[in-house]
Structure 1
């Protein structure tokens, strides 16, 4: 009996051991991969990561400088699953990182099974050291890429910014986001027992394409400074300057005042502040006023309906149907040439010129000058007007359009129009991108280089001489630059109530004041367009001309352009 009991015990022990071995075999050999995968699922986090974003370059005369790049920044996160005393961890982290412990404690309680909960971005070196010294389980430091704009607010309205999701917003960042963004990859983070970080690994991501802009850093900086300085003198709320090469269409500066710092774009966020991100040179429309007289003259000169010396008699007003149109200063100029119409900015003279053309021919020229379409510049958000009111065909609309009232366009459109005059009658495509760098190889962006002949070289030359007279004998003398011929025209127009956000018909007492010109006039290197919104001055000849003159002097000296005359 004694031996029988012993055998029974041995047999039971054997069965128990066999059962354990069988279970181990089942777990390891049969379902081993499954359980290893499940275990890893508790110890590893897979996160999709964006590829490194491409850089953006500006020109500094002949060399390239970084205007947008990437930097590595540290951030702190917690794994609530591995934290038993969440209140203590929240309190210690709040002291180290200077934030409310209650919010973190609530977030950890609501995400108690998660392995990732962001605590704070942009950790300083001092904060990083404090966290490391705490040595808390379930608290981790990692790094991420952030967009950096080395020049701060310089060209911010051209560049745009990148949001927290890594998406480009506004400007070049928004328009070219698809190629800047790069290829996405994966990041794997592994944890050991008690949430100890073992290692991290990344794979599959590729850097995006680099962009080279046409913007010259120094001309851009001077344009922005000029706007900022004169805003104090003339009291304008906002203003824009465009500098364009009339031969290539390359935009050398696109300045907007006030600007913002894309490194801290969050400080400007909010529905009431979104305008700060918009580039008003292409994202708002305005009535150009008397600067538009140059386009009216171009059409009539090209059609052979007038010459610079054609005369008419100004009586101070003209009646169209039951509407009376007067000169802006209510003066009567008597017999005047077409050149004098531009010099003295005579509204009735512009109406006379338009009247030499049929309405259809005049409309056709506006279309040829690109008034009814976008310029197609490679930046996001360009606005334009179809000018439906003008197209209704009312007699008075053609008359007022001749001197730039009741006709709407963006500032780049009229810059391009003056570029046609400067470029011997040929239209070019405005552009902001010069080339890309893909895989280390520089690749120029090739546009359609076919330049449409809008007006004849003779008409362009005659009009250039007329516009030179404006800066030498007319109201725009303060736009002239000693040693050079400057061609240009002022524009002053009342701002409609609707453009001021008011539900009201008609025009306010506030004005848009502009000057568009080019130099050296007979071999132009640049077109400059200056537009000021609601300045305290009465006309553009008291405001915008001074900004043009200062910037033109700077560019002529910057490029060491030889004077044309003594």
Structure 2
């Protein structure tokens, strides 16, 4: 009886445990089938669906008149699905011959066990159509888009280019990526448990949304002509490079920006220097490419030299430390502390007024003016003119001004700064500041992007580029326009004069560091018409050989450009 009672207790315990387990399993089953049904249904569906991406067409980049500067062309992506291939040898042979690839390379990808393996991207559409007609089991041909630049090198450092994933890398392509990129679509196909697509099952498609177009202030004709002029002077002077900038000084719209040598946007990873890239290490080649892609107007700084005298003169007039008829003496040098700072005219200019000092680009006159201002006031105006800030140009990688700290500016530093040496700015900063001085005194933000357009060409968004702050009085602006007109009509900028037009401007010749290298940068900034500026032009020639004075080699470049583009812009001769 004792054994029978003991066994009954054991059976009861086992029975109760089994009942509890069954109840738990039933509860779990109910939970999964009712409350978690949607989740697991989606998981099961996902196991039987294969997703392929449909690339969205990237938005175009247009010039001011609608000329297409960056477009798309249709290409194909060739892929294989391992589980669907019925005749691997036929697939390997057909793809290697049609795509002109090594058979071993194709075999490695075809025999790789994966859900999908890409054989090649950016295949010409005609080739993709040939492969599609072969109807090879397991081979997929998907249409894609590749960026195409109709004018190859035109505005290469401004437009930028895209990578293999069709995303912007430099220039406008990366700056306005959010508007240009579009939204990719997808193709969904149903497969069995082995991953083979089920015959007769329709594809589900989510159509891609194309990107928006970007309309710019660039003018194809002005850009093309400016590039031709830059290439011409670069060849004539055997220079390292030439930059030309054309801008509307009233609103900051950039009409042309050239940096030669430019590079081929349709082949941006091939060096334009003629160097055999195969002898370079990966790091050396990347450094060379980065240098080739640089936009010197934005990314590089330089000593502006005498063009900076425009800013020193404006500050002096605004502060009231100089009058137009103030007289100065130039013996050919000025002694500042223990330094003898020379004028470009060895024998000196003798007695001259302030206006004549600007016309003659006389260093001693500007040393005296800078000392009258004093270091603190000079720095105050430097900041007021926006020279310590970035311009805000809508291109990536803008460099900042390299300047002495205020507390470190002594008499010698102030003297050299007054005529544009011992500090560095970017060309775009100089162009923006001079524009602001001659347009009535309002600071402008240089920019290229103007508006974003929908696919049908309608306007989606007008791009804003900062507010206008007054940096000098209208009176100072008017006076500076008159003085700079005299620089061209009677002074050092005579090589920029054009009959029938009032041209204002300033020449410059600066020496690069180290001074012992005897390398120079020649430049000229000009604007027209002088009484109501509609275009500002800037030419910088890096390391010209032979004669290197800005008034001799850079001013004629802007003269030739203005002579041809002013009628095009509707500016009539007087």
TM-score, L = length of structure 1? 0.85
Separation in 2 of the partners of 1:480 and 1:278? 32
2:160 is aligned with 1:160: yes
Describe the shift of the 1:35–1:521 C-alpha distance in structure 2 as closer, same or farther (beyond 3 A): closer
Separation in 2 of the partners of 1:357 and 1:251? 33
1:117 matched to which residue of 2?
118
- Partner of 2:105, secondary structure, is helix
- Partner of 1:330, secondary structure, is coil
Describe the shift of the 1:36–1:248 C-alpha distance in structure 2 as closer, same or farther (beyond 3 A): closer
Matches within 5 A, 1:525-564: 525-536=534-545, 537-564=547-574
1:283 matched to which residue of 2?
299
Q: Which runs of 5+ in 2 are unaligned?
A: 1-32, 272-284
Describe the shift of the 1:190–1:394 C-alpha distance in structure 2 as closer, same or farther (beyond 3 A): farther
1:433 matched to which residue of 2?
449
2:72 is aligned with 1:54: no
- Partner of 2:538, secondary structure, is strand
Aligned positions, number: 522
2:266 matched to which residue of 1?
263
Deviations 1:168-224, CA, capped at 9 Å, x for gaps: 121111111122222344332457997798765431642333211111111111111
Task: Give the conservation status (yes or no) of the 8 Å contact 2:74–2:125.
Answer: no
Matches within 5 A, 1:496-535: 496-497=513-514, 508-535=517-544
2:408 matched to which residue of 1?
392
Shift of 1:74: 2.1
2:492 is aligned with 1:470: no
Deviations 1:143-174, CA, capped at 9 Å, x for gaps: 11222222322222221112111211211111
Shift of 1:508: 2.7
Separation in 1 of the partners of 2:238 and 2:87? 59
1:211 matched to which residue of 2?
214
Separation in 2 of the partners of 1:146 and 1:298? 50
Describe the shift of the 1:458–1:544 C-alpha distance in structure 2 as closer, same or farther (beyond 3 A): same
Shift of 1:348: 1.3
Describe the shift of the 1:185–1:137 C-alpha distance in structure 2 as closer, same or farther (beyond 3 A): closer
- Partner of 1:264, secondary structure, is coil
Matches within 5 A, 1:237-248: 237-248=240-251
Task: Give the conservation status (yes or no) of the 8 Å contact 1:256–1:280.
Answer: yes
- Partner of 1:262, secondary structure, is coil
Deviations 1:208-250, CA, capped at 9 Å, x for gaps: 3321111111111111111112211111121211111111111
2:230 is aligned with 1:227: yes
Measured on the aligned residues, the alpha-carbon RMSD in Å equals: 2.9
Describe the shift of the 1:49–1:137 C-alpha distance in structure 2 as closer, same or farther (beyond 3 A): closer
- In terms of fraction of residues, the more strand-rich structure is 1
1:353 matched to which residue of 2?
369
Describe the shift of the 1:228–1:179 C-alpha distance in structure 2 as closer, same or farther (beyond 3 A): same
Which residue of the other structure, out of 359, 366, 378, is the alignment partner of 2:394? Answer: 378
Shift of 1:447: 3.5
Q: Which runs of 5+ in 1 are unaligned?
A: 1-28, 498-505
2:185 is aligned with 1:180: no
Describe the shift of the 1:133–1:170 C-alpha distance in structure 2 as closer, same or farther (beyond 3 A): closer
Separation in 2 of the partners of 1:230 and 1:274? 24
Task: Give the conservation status (yes or no) of the 8 Å contact 1:55–1:211.
Answer: yes
Describe the shift of the 1:67–1:116 C-alpha distance in structure 2 as closer, same or farther (beyond 3 A): same
Task: Give the conservation status (yes or no) of the 8 Å contact 2:502–2:530.
Answer: yes
Describe the shift of the 1:39–1:158 C-alpha distance in structure 2 as closer, same or farther (beyond 3 A): same
Shift of 1:56: 1.8
Deviations 1:443-488, CA, capped at 9 Å, x for gaps: 4536377532222222222222221222122222111111011110
Q: Which moved more, 1:284-293 or 1:378-387?
A: 378-387
2:262 is aligned with 1:253: no
Separation in 1 of the partners of 2:67 and 2:204? 32
Describe the shift of the 1:545–1:39 C-alpha distance in structure 2 as closer, same or farther (beyond 3 A): same
2:28 matched to which residue of 1?
none
Describe the shift of the 1:54–1:121 C-alpha distance in structure 2 as closer, same or farther (beyond 3 A): closer
Separation in 1 of the partners of 2:495 and 2:426? 25
Shift of 1:283: 1.0
Separation in 2 of the partners of 1:316 and 1:129? 76
1:25 matched to which residue of 2?
none
Shift of 1:526: 0.6
Describe the shift of the 1:284–1:290 C-alpha distance in structure 2 as closer, same or farther (beyond 3 A): same
Task: Give the conservation status (yes or no) of the 8 Å contact 2:110–2:117.
Answer: no
Describe the shift of the 1:37–1:456 C-alpha distance in structure 2 as closer, same or farther (beyond 3 A): closer
Task: Give the conservation status (yes or no) of the 8 Å contact 2:447–2:465.
Answer: no
Matches within 5 A, 1:56-135: 56-60=61-65, 64-83=66-85, 86=88, 89-109=91-111, 111-123=112-124, 125=126, 127-128=127-128, 130-132=130-132, 134-135=134-135
- Partner of 2:297, secondary structure, is helix
- Partner of 2:217, secondary structure, is strand
Q: Which moved more, 1:309-318 or 1:450-459?
A: 450-459
Shift of 1:544: 0.9
TM-score, L = length of structure 2? 0.84
Task: Give the conservation status (yes or no) of the 8 Å contact 2:238–2:544.
Answer: yes
Deviations 1:41-79, CA, capped at 9 Å, x for gaps: 67742134554322221123xxx2222233321232222
Separation in 2 of the partners of 1:275 and 1:496? 19
Which residue of the other structure, out of 378, 382, 385, is the alignment partner of 1:369? Answer: 385
